[in-house]
């Protein structure tokens, strides 16, 4: 999916013309990125944002999102140049969050749920950063 700018696909536009952020008005995580929906932020970057999951599944459970709207990993990969470097950045921020949360040494899990079988419930690509307890494998 090519990333849409203002005037592109219906329902997608710039939240902020100055920053050219691409958002979907009804998207929960676009709302958090825009500051319209409250969240406990732990890292605030130009292209990415990290905030605590509202329903933590581990002592540390942080979500890392791009500010621009991509529904899932597949869409971000398909965006090519439009999303260039964003996946790298999401992983780099996930690692920084893990280090800041003190779980770099004990270990942590970074998960991108993508699509229904993976249990993705919010259609704005996000990395879960989970840690602070031993985890089992395979996941349920
Ligand atoms: P997924 O099921 O992989 O799409 O993950 C979506 C995550 O978003 C879940 O772990 C939810 O607990 C979390 N979540 C939903 N609403 C909020 C919110 N308002 N603030 C923070 N996290 C949220």
Q: What fold does the segment set 39-131 form as a domain? A: HIT family, subunit A (3.30.428)
Confirm or reject: Cβ of 55 under 6 Å from ligand 1.
Answer: yes
How do residues 30-83 score in pLDDT, each as one tens digit? 999 999 999 999 999 999 999 999 999 999 999 999 999 999 999 999 999 989
Q: Is the CB of 80 under 6 A from ligand 1?
A: no
Q: What is the pLDDT of residues 55-67, one digit of tens each?
A: 999 999 999 999 9
User: Considering only CA atoms, which residue is closest to atom 18 of ligand 1?
Assistant: 54
Q: Kindly give the distance from the C-alpha atom of residue 121 to the centroid of ligand 1, in angstroms, as a whole number.
A: 7
Residue pLDDT, tens place only, 105-131: 999 999 999 999 999 999 999 999 999
For residue 17 the two structure tokens come to: 């013309």
The pLDDT of residue 73? 96
69: annotated active-site residue: no
Neighbours of 18 (CB within 10 A): 7
Domain ranges of the chain: 39-131
């Amino acid at each position: 999916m090519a990333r849409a700018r203002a005037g592109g696909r219906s329902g997608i536009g710039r939240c902020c013309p100055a920053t050219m952020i691409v958002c979907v008005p009804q998207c929960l995580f676009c709302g958090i990125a825009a500051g319209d929906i409250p969240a406990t932020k732990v890292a605030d970057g130009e292209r990415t944002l990290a905030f605590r999951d509202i329903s933590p599944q581990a002592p540390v459970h942080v979500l890392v999102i791009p500010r621009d709207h991509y529904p899932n990993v597949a869409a971000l990969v398909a965006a090519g140049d439009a999303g260039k470097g964003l996946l790298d950045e999401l992983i780099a921020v996930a690692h920084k969050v893990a280090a800041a949360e003190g779980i770099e040494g004990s270990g942590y899990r970074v998960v991108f749920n993508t699509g229904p079988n993976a249990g993705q419930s919010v259609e704005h690509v996000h990395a879960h950063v989970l840690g602070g307890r031993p985890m089992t494998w395979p996941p349920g």
